[in-house]
C-alpha cells in the first residue's frame, strides 16, 4: 500500500542530514520540537497564540485542487495525531508580496550582465552561449537569491538593498543552472528547451558540450572574483552535486525502498542543491551566524525539492505547449519519478518496467496509464506541499520584511504552477 512508501520516506530520511527536511516537517506538524527548534534566534516549535495559526492541511489541499480522500489517507499515514504547526507568524501582511515584482529591479539587467561575462570574439560560440540567456526563462534561482539577499540584509540590520557580491551570486546561480541544462539536453538527446530548439539540436552535440563548459567556466571566473574562499567552497559543492546527481539519474535501485531514497537524493543534488547553496552563499556575505546560514540553506533546499516534485507531476498533467518540452519525457528517458514510484503501490507491474527503464514496446504508454489511474500524482503533490511547509517554517525565523513575505508567497507559486 501507499502507506509503506510514506513510512519508509519518513524513517529513512531521518538518517540523512543532507536531504532530511521531511522528518522535521513531520515532527513540526505533530507538535514535537526538533533538535534545531531552539537557538540564538529563539526558535520554538509548537508555540501557539493569536496570529500564529497556520493554514490547515485541508485548506492547502483544497487550494491545490487535490482529492480530499487521498489527502486524509496520506495525512493519517504520515501523522497519526495530526496537529497544525504554529511555529510563528509567517507573514506580516494579509496579502503576501509578489516575488517577481519585488525582484524585478535587480533582474532587469541580469541577462545582459551574464552575456558580458561570456564575452568572446568567436561569433558562433557567442551565439551558442547567449541562446538560453534570452530572458524567457523562469529565473527562479536568481529571484530566490535576490529576495533571500534582501531578507537577510534586513534581518541582519543592514540596508535592504542587494550587495554587489550577492547580485553576482544570483547571476552565477543562473549561469551554473543554464550550463547544466545544456549538458542535460546532450545526455538526454532532447531537441526542445523552453519552447524552442535545443542547443544540441541546432548546433550539434559537440558544440553544445563546449558551450556548456564555457558557460560554467565563465561562472567560476565570476565566482573567483568575489575573493571569498568560503563562498567559493559552498558554490563549488553545488557544482559537484549537479554532476553526482546526473550520475545517480543514470542508475536505478532494485529494492523499492532504496529506489525512493535514490530518487529523493537525486532530486536534491540535481535541482535543490544549487538553490540551497546559493541561498547559503548570500547569507555568508552579510551575516556570520551559522544558524542564519542554515535557515537560508534549508529554505533553498526545501523549495528546490518541491519545485522538482511539481515538475515531475507536470510531466503527467501538462501539455507540451505549457511545459516547453514533450510530455512523458521522463518515462521516455527511462526515469521513474515520484508519480511512478507512488503508483507502484497500486500497480506492482510497474516494478519490472522500472528495472528495464521502460524500454520494452508499450512500456511508456502502459506506465502512463497506470500513473493516471493511481493516486501517484496526488501523493507527489502532497509531498511537495510538505516540503513547502518546511520552507515556510524556516524562512519565518527571519525578521518580517516584504522580501521574506515574498519568499513565502513563492512557495505557493511553486505548488500552483502549470509550466
* Of 342, 417, 349, residue with least CA distance to 372: 342
User: Which pLDDT score is estimated for 361?
Assistant: 93
pLDDT category of residue 14 using cuts at 50, 70 and 90: very low
**Quick check: 225 and 233 in contact, CB under 8 A?**
no
**Quick check: 190 and 167 in contact, CB under 8 A?**
no
pLDDT category of residue 8 using cuts at 50, 70 and 90: very low
Between 261 and 56, residue with greater pLDDT: 261
Lowest mean pLDDT among 125-134, 259-268, 322-331: 322-331
Q: Which residues contact 3 (CB under 8 A, 6 or more apart)?
A: 77
What does the pLDDT look like over 324-336, one tens digit per residue?
A: 555 778 999 999 9
**Quick check: 12 and 26 in contact, CB under 8 A?**
no
- Helix intervals (H) in 96-228: 99-107, 110-117, 123-130, 140-155, 164-188, 199-203, 205-225
Place of cell 573567483: 224
User: Which pLDDT score is estimated for 106?
Assistant: 85
Between 148 and 86, residue with greater pLDDT: 148
Mean pLDDT (whole number) for 242-249: 93
Between 59 and 106, residue with greater pLDDT: 106
**Quick check: 18 and 272 in contact, CB under 8 A?**
no
Q: Which residues contact 344 (CB under 8 A, 6 or more apart)?
A: 5, 256, 350, 351, 354
What does the pLDDT look like over 183-241, one tens digit per residue?
A: 999 998 888 887 789 999 999 999 999 999 999 999 999 999 999 999 999 999 999 99
What does the pLDDT look like over 363-394, one tens digit per residue?
A: 999 999 999 999 999 999 999 999 999 999 99
Instruction: Report how far residue 385's alpha carbon sits from residue 415's, in angstroms, rounded to the nearest whole number.
Output: 7
**Quick check: 29 and 80 in contact, CB under 8 A?**
no
Between 323 and 119, residue with greater pLDDT: 119
User: Which pLDDT score is estimated for 156?
Assistant: 92
Mean pLDDT over the full length of the chain: 79
Mean pLDDT (whole number) for 286-303: 97
Instruction: Report how far residue 165's alpha carbon sits from residue 339's, in angstroms, rounded to the nearest whole number.
Output: 39
Lowest mean pLDDT among 2-16, 95-109, 312-326: 2-16
User: What's the predicted TM-score (pTM) here?
Assistant: 0.78
Mean pLDDT (whole number) for 121-134: 86
Please give the CATH number for the structural domain made up of 2-416.
1.10.600.10
Q: Taking 70 as the threshold, does the pLDDT of residue 18 lie above it?
A: no
Residue ranges covered by each domain of the chain: 2-416
Length of the chain: 419
Amino acid at each position: 500500500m501507499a502507506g509503506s512508501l510514506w513510512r519508509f520516506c519518513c524513517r529513512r530520511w531521518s538518517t540523512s542530514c543532507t536531504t532530511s527536511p521531511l522528518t522535521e516537517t513531520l515532527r513540526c506538524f505533530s507538535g514535537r520540537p526538533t533538535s534545531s527548534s531552539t537557538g540564538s534566534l529563539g526558535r520554538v516549535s509548537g508555540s501557539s497564540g493569536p496570529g500564529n495559526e497556520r493554514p490547515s492541511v485541508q485548506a492547502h489541499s483544497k487550494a491545490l485542487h487535490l482529492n480530499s480522500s487521498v489527502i486524509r489517507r496520506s495525512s493519517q499515514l504520515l501523522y497519526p495525531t495530526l496537529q497544525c504547526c504554529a511555529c510563528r507568524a509567517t507573514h506580516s501582511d494579509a496579502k503576501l508580496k509578489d516575488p517577481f515584482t519585488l525582484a524585478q529591479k535587480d533582474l532587469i539587467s541580469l541577462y545582459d550582465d551574464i552575456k558580458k561575462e561570456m564575452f568572446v570574439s568567436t561569433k558562433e560560440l557567442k551565439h551558442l552561449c547567449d541562446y538560453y540567456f534570452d530572458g524567457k526563462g523562469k529565473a527562479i534561482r536568481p529571484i530566490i537569491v535576490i529576495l533571500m539577499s534582501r531578507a537577510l540584509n534586513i534581518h541582519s540590520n543592514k540596508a535592504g538593498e542587494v550587495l554587489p557580491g550577492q547580485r553576482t551570486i544570483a547571476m552565477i546561480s543562473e549561469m551554473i543552472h543554464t550550463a547544466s541544462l545544456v549538458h542535460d539536453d546532450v545526455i538526454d538527446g532532447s531537441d526542445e528547451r523552453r519552447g524552442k530548439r535545443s542547443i544540441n539540436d541546432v548546433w550539434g552535440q559537440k558544440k553544445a558540450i563546449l558551450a556548456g563548459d564555457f558557460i560554467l567556466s565563465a561562472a567560476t571566473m565570476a565566482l573567483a572574483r568575489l575573493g571569498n574562499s568560503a563562498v567559493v567552497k559552498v558554490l563549488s559543492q553545488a557544482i559537484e552535486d549537479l554532476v553526482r546527481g546526473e550520475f545517480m539519474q543514470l542508475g536505478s535501485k532494485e529494492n523499492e525502498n532504496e529506489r525512493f531514497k535514490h530518487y529523493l537524493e537525486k532530486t536534491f543534488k540535481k535541482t535543490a542543491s544549487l538553490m540551497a547553496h546559493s541561498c547559503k552563499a548570500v547569507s555568508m556575505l552579510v551575516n556570520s551566524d551559522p544558524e542564519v546560514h542554515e535557515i537560508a540553506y534549508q529554505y533553498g533546499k526545501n523549495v528546490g525539492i518541491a519545485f522538482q516534485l511539481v515538475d515531475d507531476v507536470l510531466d503527467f498533467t501538462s501539455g507540451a505547449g505549457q511545459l516547453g518540452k514533450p510530455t512523458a519525457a521522463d518515462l521516455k528517458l527511462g526515469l521513474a519519478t515520484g508519480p511512478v514510484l507512488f503508483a507502484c503501490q497500486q500497480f506492482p507491474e510497474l516494478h519490472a518496467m522500472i528495472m528495464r527503464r521502460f524500454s520494452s514496446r508499450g512500456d511508456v504508454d502502459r506506465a502512463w496509464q497506470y500513473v493516471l489511474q493511481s493516486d501517484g500524482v496526488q501523493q507527489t503533490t502532497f509531498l511537495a506541499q510538505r516540503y513547502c511547509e518546511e520552507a515556510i517554517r524556516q524562512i519565518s525565523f527571519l525578521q518580517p520584511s516584504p522580501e521574506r513575505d515574498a519568499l513565502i508567497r513563492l512557495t505557493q507559486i511553486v505548488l500552483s504552477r502549470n509550466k
